[in-house]
Structure 1
Amino acid sequence: MSARSENQTFVPQEPFRAWLFGPFRVVRGSTEIADQAWTRKSARTLLKWFLLNPGQPFSAAELCDVLWPNGNGKSNTKNLHVTLHYLRRVLDPDSPSRSPSRFVRSDDGGRYWFDERDWWTDVGEVEWLWRSVQASAERDDHDAAIATLLQLVDHYQRGFLPEELYEDAFAQFRDLHERKHDEALHALLKLYGDLGRRYEVLAFAQRILDRDPYSECAVMALAEVHLAQGNLSTAMSELDRFVRTLNDDLGTAPSPRVVALRRRLSSSG
């Protein structure tokens, strides 16, 4: 991945670029590899796996489990060799037929790994953005942290590999990015709250509740903003609706924090 200084605008320079948030796309140089070029689905899936695990070695059996989790071992090994050959031809069609792959490396032990030096991916960009958020937090630079978190949310809301939604091999990565999406939204909610930016607090509290209707911090933030704006009845309505949702859906009572806020609202009336 390309190195960047803090807050530098990034323009990918690598010969290959790949997007795993939203529909999967691969660009070689200035030309996108067309969907019809991926006539072998296993090659496309294998590239996604390699891009998510750059430099990590895998045995043939492990790769076969990713591609054909319920298939026959011996036939899968043969299919893997065909898939690897096909992937090389798609990515590097002008290379001599018997030359080694520029990207998929192997050793005498039959392990394969992906050399990502010529690649940019949006997943790598997301990792860099999180490091940038941490650096901004250490400097107490709220504006920079907010700007970076908004970029992260923009990635996450596209969805991670939506075409692989039911593929178990990618579930661990999808779960990770879903958790990080929630983390980014909650971080923005807190930063906007600390800065007293009520409109943004309302907007992001609602976005959190759209994803998690049982989020106490989001509903409490909504109620606090409505109270600050003089909308006491709206604040109480939001809390009462939340308490009913907890009871109806989960059969649970609200936390002491929610109960204390409801009492404070009642006393304000």
Structure 2
Amino acid sequence: MTSGTALLPGPEWVHPRERERGADYRAYLFGPFRVFRGDEALGQRRQRREKALLLLKWFLLNPGKPVSMDQLIELGWQDTAPEKAASGFHVGMHCLRRMLEPDLRPGQESSFIHRSGTNFYRFEADDGWWSDAGEVERLFEEARISDGHGDARRACFYYSRVAAYTVRRFLEDEESQQPWLAPYRRQYEGLCSQALIRLIQIHSARGELDEALEYAYEKLRLDPCSELAATTIIEVHLQLGRPADALRQLSVFLRSLECDLGAAAGSGLLALRERIMDTPQRV
């Protein structure tokens, strides 16, 4: 980003890194699933904590949302006999409470996991909790607000943070490729896509070619059929007087369209090819 108005809006503003490092509990859902209380990694000492961590994943993705015991059993005990499933669930829930708060006394209520009625649970994350998934949503909202106010510099800062988090695959470990996680994965992929699109558009409009190219190539890596990303790269080559490189990029993109979508070039791309053919190579 180019120099200009200072990014810091005032003394109440907290940099995203400070919010992360200052939290008592930190949960990472991009890349391998990891949770820390202070500097201690949770769930590493005993194998039976796997189910407790599964429950924690759901809670972190649905903070404050009530969920029935039957719904949670469907996540991790769907192939277990009902009596054993209920017993396994209670063991996992007990383990999770102790994992999060090892000093919890018998009969003492958890600070985070609350039970209502006989069958419903909810997870209340206080200010001591931080997760990268929650941070992505918060950063995207900050970007959207800044974008709406015409503050391109701040919008790019927040959009770029969203894109940086989502470079790593959401819950990439094998046991996390479960069907119930698919909607969350699509949600974060969508936020990343929107962030990259706005970064390409804003930097292109501001004439910041290096930044526009950076995000265009990243968008094209994630979506080889992104016309915005491909045409951005092509336009930059044209601005730099490199029509041969522009034509090569267009040819690669058209092959991707044909192979992946079975689609032919539209009128816009055909017009772009004509412009490339009419552009002299800069010596």
SS of the residue corresponding to residue 162 of structure 1 reads coil
- 1:100-179 mapped onto 2 (5 Å cutoff): 100-117=109-126, 118-163=128-173, 164-179=175-190
Q: Aligned-pair distance for 1:158?
A: 2.2
Which stretch shows the higher mean deviation, 52-61 or 11-20?
Answer: 11-20
In structure 1, the partner of 2:203 is 192
SS of the residue corresponding to residue 36 of structure 1 reads coil
Contact kept? 1:37, 1:90, Cα under 8 Å: no
Q: Aligned-pair distance for 1:34?
A: 5.7
Contact kept? 1:38, 1:90, Cα under 8 Å: no
Q: Aligned-pair distance for 1:30?
A: 4.4
Match of 1:210 among 214, 221, 227: 221
**TM-score when scaled to structure 2?**
0.86
| Residues 247, 120 of structure 1: alpha-carbon distance in 2 compared, 3 angstrom cutoff | closer
In structure 2, the partner of 1:8 is 14
Q: Aligned-pair distance for 1:165?
A: 4.0
CA-atom RMSD in angstroms: 2.1
**TM-score when scaled to structure 1?**
0.91
Q: Aligned-pair distance for 1:47?
A: 0.6
2:168 and 2:254 mapped to 1: Cα distance? 31
Alignment coverage as a number of residue pairs: 266
| Residues 257, 73 of structure 1: alpha-carbon distance in 2 compared, 3 angstrom cutoff | farther
Which stretch shows the higher mean deviation, 45-54 or 15-24?
Answer: 15-24
Match of 1:63 among 66, 72, 92: 72
Q: Aligned-pair distance for 1:68?
A: 2.4
In structure 2, the partner of 1:245 is 256
Contact kept? 1:103, 1:114, Cα under 8 Å: yes
What code does the residue aligned with 2:201 have? Answer: K
- Displaced runs of 4 or more, over 6 A: none
1:101 and 1:108 mapped to 2: Cα distance? 16
| Residues 236, 113 of structure 1: alpha-carbon distance in 2 compared, 3 angstrom cutoff | same
Please say if 1:266 is aligned against 2:277: yes
- 1:47-86 mapped onto 2 (5 Å cutoff): 47-86=56-95
Deviations 1:73-129, CA, capped at 9 Å, x for gaps: 332111111111111111111111222222211112411111212422222222221
Q: Aligned-pair distance for 1:29?
A: 3.5
| Runs of 5+ unmatched residues, structure 1 | none
1:22 and 1:5 mapped to 2: Cα distance? 33
1:7 and 1:198 mapped to 2: Cα distance? 30
| Runs of 5+ unmatched residues, structure 2 | 1-9
Please say if 1:99 is aligned against 2:108: yes
1:239 and 1:6 mapped to 2: Cα distance? 47
